[in-house]
């Protein structure tokens, strides 16, 4: 029986105990709408760490207030937010998990009603606490308010905000950083021809559409130093004829490798609605495999990977290097311990307090 899931993986100076990771999942749970985590976050991330995950990537965290999806998102644009994240990182470390954080700018999909907790959906009005959104162009996401197109000065502010948040992530003790380049948020909006209609050096060719992402990667790498892994989440395709294609994403991945990115977390879609997405077990795995081959980078596969043997097979057969298990980890934060039992891996990270239950 293979134990591919439980073979540690080393990215730069970080060794991660296994290959079952938790993808970023917004909790929409800040207490006072100031981007600062609440007790919920301590419990949530602590329980995921105790359940045996190798790495946990904290939910999309705004690098600027206007970069939040909703007012209930986490932020990392000030030191109070950093200082409140640090104990969450410490708790996860005490349970042996590596901690990452997804730094994000929601672009034209910012300023929306959170998934739950308030009345309504779609864009927030100013009366509801909404704000003006920004994007590569003025084209709105279907059903949302139109953004303002970023000018050169606005782009510079975004780059510097990612760098400042990355510095705070290091200070808070995070082990790795993931840049959110998927799901129709700002960096994906630049990459995709569906949302980027610019005529300057940030629009047009794939190289130009990738420029903002690569500038941020370079600037963040310069800030965090050589030891820390830097990941990028990409949508492997827009699932639409005129959208971003997987071969283009493979090329972007190859450039990201040249710029010092260590692993690509391959999701899909999110930049246009509706889109014909063939949702089903492991439906995004082929995208991770294709981008892995084209870029030469390790990849993470995500999306309806819910079963231990399914996860083991993905890693053991080289379809991806790690799996990210989202909703199944919400249903059962002990999924990694369950998977260890399924593949007969007897050195799973069972907390000593619970050891008798596993004898
Ligand atoms: C998500 N997802 C997500 N993705 C992301 O890149 N940043 C985020 O903050 C969030 N937030 C989020 C919240 C919740 C409640 C869910 C369920 C999902 C997408 C998530 O990371 C993952 O890609 C999908 O859930 C698909 O994987 P599973 O759940 O099928 O394993």
The whole-angstrom separation of Cα 228 and Cα 12 is 6
The catalytic position among 28, 185, 202, 345 is 185
Measured from the Cα of 102, ligand 1's closest atom is: 7
* Model ipTM over 0.95: yes
CB-based contact 242:194 (threshold 8 Å): yes
Q: In angstroms, what is the span from residue 357 Cα to ligand 1's centroid?
A: 30
Domain count, the chain: 1
DSSP states along 70-86: STTSEE-SSHHHHHHHH
Nearest protein CA to atom 10 of ligand 1, as residue = 25
- Closest by Cα among 207, 205, 192 to 271: 192
CB-based pocket (< 6 A), ligand 1: 23-26, 59-60, 102, 180, 182-183, 233, 267, 302-305, 325-328
- Residue 24 pLDDT: 99
- Residue 349 pLDDT: 86
CB-based contact 47:333 (threshold 8 Å): yes
pLDDT at 323 over 90: yes
CB-based contact 312:341 (threshold 8 Å): no
- Closest by Cα among 108, 87, 114 to 99: 87
CB-based contact 80:156 (threshold 8 Å): no
CB-based contact 163:204 (threshold 8 Å): no
* Residues paired with 263 in a beta bridge: 231
Phi first, then psi, for residue 48 (nearest 5°) are: -65, -40
The whole-angstrom separation of Cα 264 and Cα 297 is 7
Mutate to test the pocket of ligand 1, among 21, 22, 26 (most ligand atoms within 8 A of CB): 26
- Residue 342 pLDDT: 95
Chain segment 130-153, per-residue pLDDT in tens: 999 999 999 999 999 999 999 999
Chain segment 72-123, per-residue pLDDT in tens: 999 999 999 999 999 999 999 999 999 999 999 999 999 999 988 878 899 9
Chain segment 240-253, per-residue pLDDT in tens: 999 999 999 999 99
pLDDT at 180 over 80: yes
Q: In angstroms, what is the span from residue 302 Cα to ligand 1's centroid?
A: 9
Please say if 28 is a catalytic residue: no
Nearest protein CA to atom 13 of ligand 1, as residue = 25
Measured from the Cα of 60, ligand 1's closest atom is: 9
CB-based contact 111:123 (threshold 8 Å): yes
Whose structure tokens read 């692993």? 263
Residues with Cβ within 8 Å of 193's Cβ and at least 6 positions away in sequence, in order, are 209, 242, 243, 244
- Residue 301 pLDDT: 99
Measured from the Cα of 302, ligand 1's closest atom is: 27
CATH of the domain at 126: 3.20.20.70
The radius of gyration of the chain from alpha carbons, rounded to an integer in Å, stands at: 19
CB-based contact 234:180 (threshold 8 Å): no
- Residue 117 pLDDT: 83
Residues with Cβ within 8 Å of 133's Cβ and at least 6 positions away in sequence, in order, are 66, 106, 107, 108, 109, 110, 111, 123, 144, 145, 147, 148
Q: In angstroms, what is the span from residue 291 Cα to ligand 1's centroid?
A: 20
With cut-offs at 50, 70 and 90, classify the pLDDT of residue 359.
confident
The parent domain of residue 300 ranges over 4-358
Measured from the Cα of 327, ligand 1's closest atom is: 29
CB-based contact 88:61 (threshold 8 Å): no
């Amino acid at each position: 029986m293979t134990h591919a899931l439980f073979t540690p993986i080393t990215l730069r100076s970080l060794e991660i105990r296994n290959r079952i990771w938790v993808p970023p999942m917004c909790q929409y749970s800040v207490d006072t709408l100031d981007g600062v985590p609440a007790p919920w976050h301590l419990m949530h991330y602590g329980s995921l760490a105790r359940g045996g995950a190798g790495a946990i990537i904290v939910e999309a965290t705004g690098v600027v207030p206007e970069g939040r999806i909703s007012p209930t998102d986490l932020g990392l644009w000030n030191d109070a937010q950093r200082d409140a994240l640090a104990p969450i990182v410490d708790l996860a470390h005490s349970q042996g998990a590596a901690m990452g954080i997804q730094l994000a700018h929601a672009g034209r999909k910012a300023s929306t009603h959170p998934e739950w907790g308030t009345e309504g959906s779609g864009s927030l009005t100013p009366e509801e606490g909404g704000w003006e959104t920004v994007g590569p162009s003025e084209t709105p996401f279907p059903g949302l308010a139109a953004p303002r197109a970023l000018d050169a000065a606005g782009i510079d502010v975004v780059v510097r905000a990612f760098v400042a948040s990355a510095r705070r992530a290091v200070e808070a003790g995070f082990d790795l950083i993931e840049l959110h380049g998927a799901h129709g948020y700002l960096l994906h909006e630049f990459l995709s021809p569906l949302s980027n209609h610019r005529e300057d050096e940030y629009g047009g060719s794939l190289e130009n559409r990738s420029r903002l992402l690569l500038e941020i990667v370079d600037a963040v790498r310069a800030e965090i130093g050589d030891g820390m892994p830097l990941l990028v989440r990409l949508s492997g395709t827009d699932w639409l004829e005129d959208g971003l294609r997987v071969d283009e994403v493979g090329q972007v991945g190859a450039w990201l490798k040249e710029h010092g990115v260590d692993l690509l977390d391959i999701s899909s879609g999110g930049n246009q609605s509706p889109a014909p997405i063939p949702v089903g077990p492991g439906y995004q795995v082929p995208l991770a495999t294709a981008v892995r081959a084209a870029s030469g980078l390790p990849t993470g596969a995500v999306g309806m990977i819910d079963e231990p043997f399914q996860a083991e097979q993905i890693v053991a057969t080289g379809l991806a290097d790690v799996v990210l298990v989202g909703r199944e980890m919400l249903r059962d934060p002990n999924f990694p311990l369950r998977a260890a039992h399924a593949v007969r891996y007897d050195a799973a990270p069972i907390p000593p307090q619970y050891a008798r239950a596993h004898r």
